[in-house]
Amino acid sequence: MGRYPRQVIALMVAPLGLVLALTALLGVAGDNPAVRIIDDLLNFGLLVYATVCAALAARSALGRLRRAWALMTAALAAWAIGDGIWLLYELILRQEAPVPSAADAFYVVFAVLAVAAMTQFVTEPMRESRLRIALDGITVALCLFLLAWILALHTVYDAYRDDRAALFVALLYPASDLAMLTIAVVTLLRAEARQRVVLTVLSGAIAVMAVADITYAVLVAGDNYRTGDPIDAVWGAAAVLFAAAALISRRTPTPRPPTLPVPSNASLWLPYVPLLLAGTVGPPLVMTGVERFLVPVIVVAVCLRQSVSAWENRRLLTAAADQALRDPLTGLANTALFDDRLAHAMVLRSRIDRSVAVLSLDLDDFKLINDNLGHSTADRLLADVGRRLADCARTGDTVARTGGDEFALLLEGPFDESDAVARRVSAAFDIPFTVDGHDILLRPSIGVTVASMSEPDLTPEVLRERAAIAMHAAKRARSPEVQTFSADMVPVNGATVDGAARAGGDGAAQIRLLGELRQAIDHHGLDVVYQPKISLSSGETVGVEALLRWPHPQLGLLLPETFLSLIREQGLIQRVTDLVLDKALDDAVRWYGHDARIPVAVNLFAPSLRETDQPDKLCRALGCRGLPTDLLTVEITEDIVLSEMDLVTAVLRRLREYGVRVAIDDFGSGYSSLSYLRDLAIDEVKLDRNFIAPVTSDPRAAAVAQAVIDLTHDLGATVVAEGIEDVATADWLRDHGCDVGQGYLFGRPVEAAQIGVFAGADIRDIDDAAVISPP
């Protein structure tokens, strides 16, 4: 009875009590007219109760199940009428009903309708082969019959051997009971879990009735039956079981959407129970000698063997079914299973008070990992992510991988705890993932939505879509990385590049922007500006950093953060790198021509560092312009270096062999590792703005900065501090040994033409008007 025992038990207490009272009464009182009337009345009452319960079950059921219970209601009603007629005979005519009587006509109707009802109980389409069902049916029917025959029916047969009509009537009820029981057992084998309880109770009811009918047939054959016989209580018990089955059926929740067919536990052994009974009870009764013991042992062995092989089959099927619903890489649920669970959760939610929430998660910039580390490392990383997510979920929640780097969590429970889970998930990404020796810090974008109680008609599809919209909003906003769905969020077509979404605006606008970007690249529409790098000790300009700009005809001057992700994700890296490099070196040639030897630094995207011909290309670009190689510095970001140490190391070593300088950019911004300072041959470390900003206010930050400056010097590299905006910071850095500074304090990025002005000049002499600020 599982989930709904209380109401069912409450409704069963009275009828059960009546049956027990009847059993006691019939057992003790012996034959007298008052007892007979009470007996008839009680049985009649119990049947009416069972009929009402069946009618209620029919009313709350749907489809085939409704038909099944409607037929069962009619059958029980016929039985009740039969008992009613019997009662009238005893009460009014003061005599026993003759055999056969009008009551028998209704009992026959019961038998026919009940058999018909039993055929309607399976609502699932047939999965097993019909042959197997037929064979199961034949085995069960024959074994039950054999059992009944050995135990009782052969005496009935002996009694009516010469009177065929009487024999037919005497065997009619036991035969219809056995037919019903056979159907019930075979149905039970194929039933879904939720129907199994109902069918088990129903089978119990029929089995009890069969015992009563067979005993009755034996008693009548020996002319030993009279109303008031204790056997009457057994019919009462059958009626109570019918009522119980109906009540449980009413309480069974709406079906879970069908998943893959895996046979129930019961189907493994249930078909063999009748065989086991017939084969072990029969032989000792009808056989003699050693066969009496040998045959039962053989039967038991065969039954065991069959059950074991059925169990093995089932294990294979379960494994196959499980595979079909799992993501092979992470072992998490796949989309099919997730959708299935979500649909079920939404159905349950409408029945009982339960919270359902969906969390949608997408990893930021995972394409970078794929491009840089290769698919097998990326796969291992995804598996690790899967494990962490699974650790964040509560028991009962479903964690699924729903796409390449997309995951989803279904949060089900009595209370809404989606906030706490989302926070746990977000925190789980604070620790870097270690894969193949790389420490990789991943960030997720997380969208959460809770199925509100005020929207009873909410569909699973809409809920998932909302989570996706919230996730895209998180991706656009970047911070905070967890966003809860709200109606004013703009949906983003998930298919339109997630980088595009991040750059702002809706999907269509992003596609347009991408087209314009390609055009700008083709038609030299991208610009490069230069930010001076100043020697902190002398105040001289010691170089410039080339920074990308896109003067957009409508949107104005766009900064890299608006379109860099588009470049990365749309495979435009190489073209843009070449473009910036050409411009920067052309400008350097011009400055050189004016006797200004200004070293220029260019930022490289990660994938460029995997190109083994990159050093040669750079060298050729410098050589054909007659520029010395040490005029060029390439800036690489530390997370890039970390993630692909071997390849990158080789490329960087070649670059340095040619004389090109290498700088580590944004040091201290991500998950810094000192180890690559040791492993990589570099010329310059650029301390990130956020790393140096607190040095004047936070002694601990100052201590760390000081240590990094000293360490860099020990390794023979130059220290450059980025993003210096105030004099105090510049002074501190100079006093603590930092070599070079860069930042708005010294100059914003400016066009090439203005750089000649800086060259060789003391920065303090530069007129503020010469400095062009980005908008």
Sites of contact with Ca ion (CB under 5 A) = 603, 635, 665-666, 722
Q: Answer yes or no whether residue 749 interacts with ligand C2E by CB under 6 A.
A: yes
Report the largest interatomic distance among the alpha carbons of the chain, rounded to a whole angstrom.
134
CB-nearer residue toward ligand C2E: 129 or 479: 479
Minimum distance from residue 587 beta carbon to Ca ion (Å)? 17
CB-nearer residue toward ligand C2E: 382 or 579: 579
CB-nearer residue toward ligand C2E: 239 or 564: 564
CA distance 225 to 246: 31
Q: Which residues pair with 398 in a beta bridge?
A: 410
CB-nearer residue toward Ca ion: 340 or 665: 665
CB 492 within 8 A of CB 469: yes
Q: Answer yes or no whether residue 743 interacts with ligand C2E by CB under 6 A.
A: yes
For residue 271, the partner it binds in ligand C2E, Ca ion, none, with Cβ less than 5 to 8 A by kind, is none
**The two three-digit tokens of residue 25, written as one number:** 């009464």
Query: Using CB under 6 A, which of the segments 56-64, 231-239, 559-567, 758-766 binds ligand C2E?
Result: 559-567
CB-nearer residue toward Ca ion: 615 or 749: 749
Minimum distance from residue 526 beta carbon to ligand C2E (Å)? 9
Query: Using CB under 6 A, which of the segments 141-149, 258-266, 275-283, 555-563 binds ligand C2E?
Result: 555-563
Minimum distance from residue 545 beta carbon to Ca ion (Å)? 6
For residue 283, the partner it binds in ligand C2E, Ca ion, none, with Cβ less than 5 to 8 A by kind, is none
CA distance 490 to 512: 18
SS3 436: coil
Minimum distance from residue 651 beta carbon to ligand C2E (Å)? 15
Q: Answer yes or no whether residue 605 interacts with ligand C2E by CB under 6 A.
A: yes
For residue 362, the partner it binds in Ca ion, ligand C2E, none, with Cβ less than 5 to 8 A by kind, is none
SS3 363: strand
Minimum distance from residue 665 beta carbon to ligand C2E (Å)? 5
Torsion sign, CA atoms 679, 682, 685, 686? negative
Residue 324: how many other CB atoms lie within 10 Å: 12
For residue 743, the partner it binds in ligand C2E, Ca ion, none, with Cβ less than 5 to 8 A by kind, is ligand C2E
Residue matched to tokens 């009238």: 88
Residue 136: how many other CB atoms lie within 10 Å: 20
CA distance 498 to 517: 16
Minimum distance from residue 658 beta carbon to Ca ion (Å)? 20
Q: What is the β-pairing status of strands 541-552 and 600-603?
A: parallel
Residue type for 285, please?
Answer: L
For residue 531, the partner it binds in Ca ion, ligand C2E, none, with Cβ less than 5 to 8 A by kind, is ligand C2E
Minimum distance from residue 720 beta carbon to Ca ion (Å)? 9
For residue 749, the partner it binds in ligand C2E, Ca ion, none, with Cβ less than 5 to 8 A by kind, is ligand C2E
Contacts of 24 (CB under 8 A, 6+ apart): none
For residue 80, the partner it binds in ligand C2E, Ca ion, none, with Cβ less than 5 to 8 A by kind, is none
For residue 605, the partner it binds in Ca ion, ligand C2E, none, with Cβ less than 5 to 8 A by kind, is ligand C2E
Minimum distance from residue 571 beta carbon to ligand C2E (Å)? 14
Q: Answer yes or no whether residue 560 interacts with ligand C2E by CB under 6 A.
A: yes
DSSP code for 121 = -
For residue 204, the partner it binds in Ca ion, ligand C2E, none, with Cβ less than 5 to 8 A by kind, is none
CB-nearer residue toward ligand C2E: 338 or 746: 746
CB 544 within 8 A of CB 600: yes
CA distance 684 to 721: 10
Minimum distance from residue 367 beta carbon to ligand C2E (Å)? 15
By CB under 6 A, the residues from 606 to 665 that bind ligand C2E are 635, 665
Residue type for 612, please?
Answer: T
Q: In this chain, which of 113, 146, 207, 547 binds ligand C2E, going by CB under 6 A?
A: 547
CB-nearer residue toward Ca ion: 263 or 694: 694
Query: Using CB under 6 A, which of the segments 18-26, 84-92, 152-160, 736-744 binds ligand C2E?
Result: 736-744
CB-nearer residue toward ligand C2E: 334 or 531: 531
**The two three-digit tokens of residue 523, written as one number:** 């038609």
CB-nearer residue toward ligand C2E: 387 or 552: 552
CB 598 within 8 A of CB 544: yes
CB-nearer residue toward ligand C2E: 372 or 742: 742
CB 604 within 8 A of CB 577: yes
Ramachandran area for residue 429 (φ above 0: left; ψ -120 to 50: alpha; else beta): alpha
Q: Answer yes or no whether residue 691 interacts with ligand C2E by CB under 6 A.
A: no
CB-nearer residue toward ligand C2E: 386 or 743: 743
CA distance 434 to 615: 29
Residues in the chain: 775
**CA separation (Å) from 133 to 127, 187, 190, 515, 593?**
10, 9, 9, 63, 94
Q: Answer yes or no whether residue 723 interacts with ligand C2E by CB under 6 A.
A: yes
CB-nearer residue toward Ca ion: 81 or 687: 687
CA distance 701 to 693: 9
Q: Answer yes or no whether residue 144 interacts with ligand C2E by CB under 6 A.
A: no
Contacts of 74 (CB under 8 A, 6+ apart): 113
Query: Using CB under 6 A, which of the segments 4-12, 163-171, 711-719, 722-730 binds ligand C2E?
Result: 722-730
Phi, psi of 523 (to 5 degrees): -110, 30
CB 87 within 8 A of CB 44: yes
**The two three-digit tokens of residue 577, written as one number:** 């790198």
**CA separation (Å) from 267 to 54, 132, 258, 270?**
26, 12, 18, 5
Q: Which of 226, 220, 184, 223 is nearest to 204 (CA)?
A: 184
- Identify the helix (H) or strand (E) that includes residue 444: strand 444-450
Query: Using CB under 6 A, which of the segments 18-26, 342-350, 535-543, 558-566 binds ligand C2E?
Result: 558-566
By CB under 6 A, the residues from 511 to 540 that bind ligand C2E are 531
Q: Which of 561, 573, 542 is nearest to 504 (CA)?
A: 561
Minimum distance from residue 604 beta carbon to ligand C2E (Å)? 6
Residue 5: how many other CB atoms lie within 10 Å: 12
Q: Answer yes or no whether residue 725 interacts with ligand C2E by CB under 6 A.
A: yes
CA distance 12 to 440: 62
Q: In this chain, which of 468, 548, 558, 651 binds ligand C2E, going by CB under 6 A?
A: 548
CB-nearer residue toward ligand C2E: 208 or 609: 609
Q: Which of 277, 136, 163 is nearest to 211 (CA)?
A: 277
Q: Which of 255, 303, 256, 263 is nearest to 279 (CA)?
A: 303
Q: In this chain, which of 580, 600, 648, 685 binds ligand C2E, going by CB under 6 A?
A: 580
Q: Answer yes or no whether residue 312 interacts with ligand C2E by CB under 6 A.
A: no
Q: Answer yes or no whether residue 670 interacts with ligand C2E by CB under 6 A.
A: no
CB-nearer residue toward ligand C2E: 97 or 547: 547
For residue 548, the partner it binds in ligand C2E, Ca ion, none, with Cβ less than 5 to 8 A by kind, is ligand C2E
**The two three-digit tokens of residue 323, written as one number:** 């595979």
Phi, psi of 412 (to 5 degrees): -120, 140
SS3 content of the chain, % helix, strand, coil (to 5): 60, 10, 25
Q: Answer yes or no whether residue 559 interacts with ligand C2E by CB under 6 A.
A: yes
Q: Which residues pair with 662 in a beta bridge?
A: 634
CB-nearer residue toward Ca ion: 362 or 666: 666
Minimum distance from residue 549 beta carbon to ligand C2E (Å)? 7
Query: Using CB under 6 A, which of the segments 277-285, 400-408, 707-715, 719-727 binds ligand C2E?
Result: 719-727
Residues that bind ligand C2E in the complex, under the rule CB under 6 A: 531, 547-548, 559-561, 564, 580, 603-605, 635, 665-666, 689, 722-725, 742-744, 749
